[in-house]
A and B are shown apart, each in its own frame.
Chain A
Amino acid sequence: MAAVPSSLEPVKLGSGYNTPWWAHAIKWGLLALVLAAGLFVVQKLVANGSWFGVVITAFILTCVLAVYSTRRAVPMKYLLPGLVLLVTLQIWPIVYTVATAFTNYGQGHVLSKEDATAQSIAQSVKEVEGSERYKLSIAVPEGSDVATGDLVFLLTGADGKMQVGTKDGLTELSADGVEKTDTGKITKAPGYTILNAKEANSRSADLEAFAVPVSTSAGIKAVGLSGAFQGAPTLTYDKAADTLTDTVSKEVYSPQNAYWATADGKRLPTGWKENVGSRNFSDLLTNPTIRAGFFKIFLWNVAFAALSVASTFLLGMLLALLFNDEKMKGKGLYRSLLILPYAIPGFVTALVWASMFNQEFGLVNSLTHLNIDWLGNAWAAKAAILIANLWLGFPYMFLVCTGALQSIPGDVKEAAKIDGANAFRTLRSIIMPLLLVAVGPLLIASFAFNFNNFSLIYLLTQGGPFATDNTSIGSTDLLITYAFRLAFSGASPNIGLASAVCIFIFFIVAAMSYSGFRRTKSLEEVN
């Protein structure tokens, strides 16, 4: 959005207003604060080596400086904060979701192929036969933080020889000032801070990755917190053939479905992230098990949204008609009390209804003397959700219908009466059409909202109950709760497939909103 100097650029005719000094101070103070924060982030990014982030942050900072430190680009001064957030937190996630939908990102597929291969090789390290065992003390160089400093291994060999192992290799440790236990474990060494068990434990991830190189293929690794051995990986990577070979069992692993696997199906645990093209999408549409569930969910999703809108609108409208009588007393009190269900936060409503639908102790069964397993039976759970949503949503419809009814001019009704229309006819031919014109777009908006009503379903039933033979698809699942479960729970989270489901929802919601916009126009023309 190229900013052109606006017509609002002050043409100073009078001298009535001088920008006070504190306004300048606030402006430059804020600018300095933003710059400082930005530079802090840049420094962190550089330390981390993520140059992509550095470029983005530097670009944003430059924009901020260019826009706010000059007198030009006035509209941009007002648009920039929103624009930056919009691009980084709404447009970028959309792009990233689309990109992820074409990958197999998920449990066991988080690393790049290079990292996954390196990890597989590192995990295959075995003790070299006949090599020596060391007593180990884990330390950091004196003066550095025990939680972040470079790890150092203080090693005592079987013959009592002491060595210092760093990530660069082994060096001798002179005996001056060194204290050892009877077993030979070093407890004090000048120049190093030895970690206690708790501190060492908290760095277990670093320890896992740390090895003191002793030759090109072998290294000294820790076993537990007080021992170390010299080991060498049993897997070797052949770059030309793109295979991993186990030097002990002579098995050859080649890439299959983003895992290293042998011809007879033996697989290494670490997989990698790779591009799977449109496989996630085609799975949703053609894989028989996924497809059946996906369509079942889709149908219920549409039915849920449509029935919710219909039931809340009907009840809301009837109540609005009931209270739409000028002569009735106490309407204000009724209204204030009737909107209470809408004022309760959604999560409270869903959780309270979930307790009320409890089969053994719930209020619903005890009031009606029924014994329905509301949340355990597929159809009862659907009914329970619709009932809870009716309670939650009717006040909104009641309010908007009341507003719409009050805005219908009295002379229209009077004209109908003069023409001899009875009350029912007036309602059907005059009031209803005018009401629908006013609230039509709201009904569409409400449909779109309920289509993705994640918190109600998730908090009430978690998408369940689940069939015993298929635990991935619940009978009250919406597409969005299904995607959520795919991405974050279940046996093997699959964010790639979840993103593909999200993109389906995108298109459905976009189609609905588009028709909503179109309909708004056509409805307005009716008026």
Chain B
Amino acid sequence: MSNVTDAAAIAIPEGRTATAKSPRAAGSGQWWRHALGVIALLWALFPIVFLVSAALNPAGSLQTSSLIPSGSSLANFRTLFGDSSRPYVDWYKNSMIIATVGSLGSVFIGACAAYAFSRMRFAGRRPGLLALLLLQMFPAMLTFPALYLTFAKVGDIVPALGLNSIWALILCYLGGAMGANVWLLKGYFDTVPKELDEAAKVDGASHARIFFTMTLRLVMPILVTVFMLSFVGLFSEFLLASIFLQDVNSQTLGVGLYSMSIGNEKNRLFGQFASGALLASLPVVLLYLGFQRFLIGGMTQGSVK
């Protein structure tokens, strides 16, 4: 907590004079930047350090958890994987399936739509694009009462697609796939010269061949960006997942870890929770660190357009 105020309070006056002092000789005038940078790092990292030390804490309860670990053991991880009433491995598997399949589907649907909107001219093209833009004003998340009622009914008829099914949840996430990404994707598709398409067409290639073998390869960077953005989004989604997945074996990491951290046992289970949370963070953190460039570009482009 003290780190919050420190970073903000000190950074305000010093930050503004940053450009004033910059003309000094290289290196010598930099120490205060590093000093502030280290304070910022302390603020950014202390919860993560706490999480790691709680995960390694041999006693494993909230009372005994502290910033500096009092010891290190993998006991929490062993309890985590051995707890049959909290099937952590299933949660992990469900989360990975939902995020991977959901974002692959979302990329594919978005790319197909963007190809049509970017390369073809047809009646309803402009109104269609505008309607998609308009629909983005209504977040799909807000229709949770209707989604719940609809899938409760669908589940009575086709149980594989009812509540408690991760496939139904994936379908729900895919509902917004076309609208969410088509503008970003279309913008990128437009930058691929049309002449390439025409050359291939003259050679006798069909539209499908052009799309699958040429265009998709040329727009790969944006596909990767969209894939990662939606992977991160789906991996962390909680609202719909908590409504849909009530059976403990079908839950995602978010829903499962939440159930572990409420109730009377939360203090005792804290070590187990922390080790689970730490492992749950790994896929997204690795994605971020590995593909920083893609993500930063995507974040800015995605919102400006």
Q: Closest residue to A334 on the B side, CB-wise?
A: B37
CB contact between B206 and one of A19, A75, A452, A513 (< 8 Å): that residue = A19
Q: How far is the CB of B133 from chain A (nearest CB, A)?
A: 8
Shortest Cβ distance from A448 into B: residue:
B139
Is B33 an interface position by the 8 A CB rule?
yes
Q: Which residues of chain A have C-beta atoms less than 8 A from B209's C-beta? A: 17, 19, 23
Measured between C-beta atoms, what is the minimum distance from B283 to chain A in Å? Answer: 9
Is A90 a contact partner of B66 (Cβ separation < 8 A)?
no
Chain B residues whose CB sits within 8 angstroms of the CB of A364 once the complex forms: 1
Task: Check: A74 CB closer than 8 A to any chain B CB.
Answer: yes
CA distance A85 to B150 in the complex (A): 14
Of residues 214 through 231 on chain B, the ones whose CB sits less than 8 Å from some CB of chain A are none
B84 within 8 A of A: no
A352 to B277, CA, bound (A): 8
Residue among A94, A352, A483, A506 having the largest count of chain B Cβ atoms under 10 Å: A352
A520 on interface, CB distance cutoff 8 Å: yes
- CB of A3 within 8 A of CB of B16, answer no
Rounded to whole angstroms, the CA-CA distance of A390 and B262 in the bound complex is 23
Cβ of B144 to closest chain A Cβ, rounded Å: 7
B41/A343 in contact, CB under 8 A: no
Q: Which A residues are CB-close (under 8 A) to B243?
A: 488
Known: A3-B123, A90-B179, A363-B67. A321 touches B18 (CB 8 A): yes
> CB of B294 within 8 A of chain A?
no
B85 at interface by CB-CB < 8 Å? no
Most buried by B among A12, A90, A343: A90
Stretch at the interface among A119-127, A146-154, A215-223, A396-404: A396-404
Q: Do residues B62 and A361 form an inter-chain contact, with CB atoms below 8 A? A: yes
Determine the chain B residues whose CB is within 8 A of the CB of A96 once the complex forms.
Answer: 143, 146, 149-150
Q: A96-B150, A100-B149 are in contact. Are A318 and B120 (CB under 8 A)?
A: no
Residues 372-424 of A at the B interface (beta carbon under 8 Å)? 387, 390-391, 394-396, 399-400, 403-404, 422-424
A13 to B274, CA, bound (A): 64
Q: Is A64 an interface residue (CB 8 A)?
A: no
Taking a contact as CB atoms closer than 8 A, the residue among A7, A11, A344 that contacts B281 in the complex is A344
Q: Is the interface of A mostly helix, strand, loop or mixed?
A: helix
A 82-119 contacts with B by CB, 8 A: 82-83, 85-86, 88-97, 100, 105
When distances are taken between beta carbons in the complex, the residues of chain B under 8 Å from A441 are 303-304
Stretch at the interface among A178-186, A283-291, A297-305, A325-333: A325-333
CB pair A93 B150 closer than 8 Å: yes
Q: In whole Å, how far is B97's beta carbon from the nearest beta carbon of chain A? A: 16
B300 touches A90 (CB 8 A): no
Determine if A14 and B45 form an interchain contact, defined as CB atoms under 8 angstroms apart: no
* Interface presence of A8 (CB below 8 A): yes
A396 neighbours in B (Cβ, 8 Å): 299
Q: Which residues of B contact A484 (CB under 8 A)?
A: 144, 239
Cβ of A258 within 8 Å of any chain B Cβ, yes or no, is no
Known contacts A340-B48, A352-B47; A513 and B123 CB within 8 A of each other: no
6 A–B pairs (Cβ distance < 8 Å), ordered by A: A7-B120, A83-B178, A351-B261, A352-B47, A483-B145, A514-B137
Interface residues of A (CB under 8 A from B): 1-4, 6-17, 19, 23, 41, 44-45, 48, 50, 53, 74-75, 77-79, 81-83, 85-86, 88-97, 100, 105, 314-315, 318-319, 321-325, 327-330, 334-349, 351-356, 358, 360-364, 366-368, 370, 387, 390-391, 394-396, 399-400, 403-404, 422-424, 426-427, 441-442, 445, 452, 454-455, 458-459, 462, 480, 483-484, 487-488, 495, 498-499, 502, 505-506, 509-510, 513-514, 517, 520
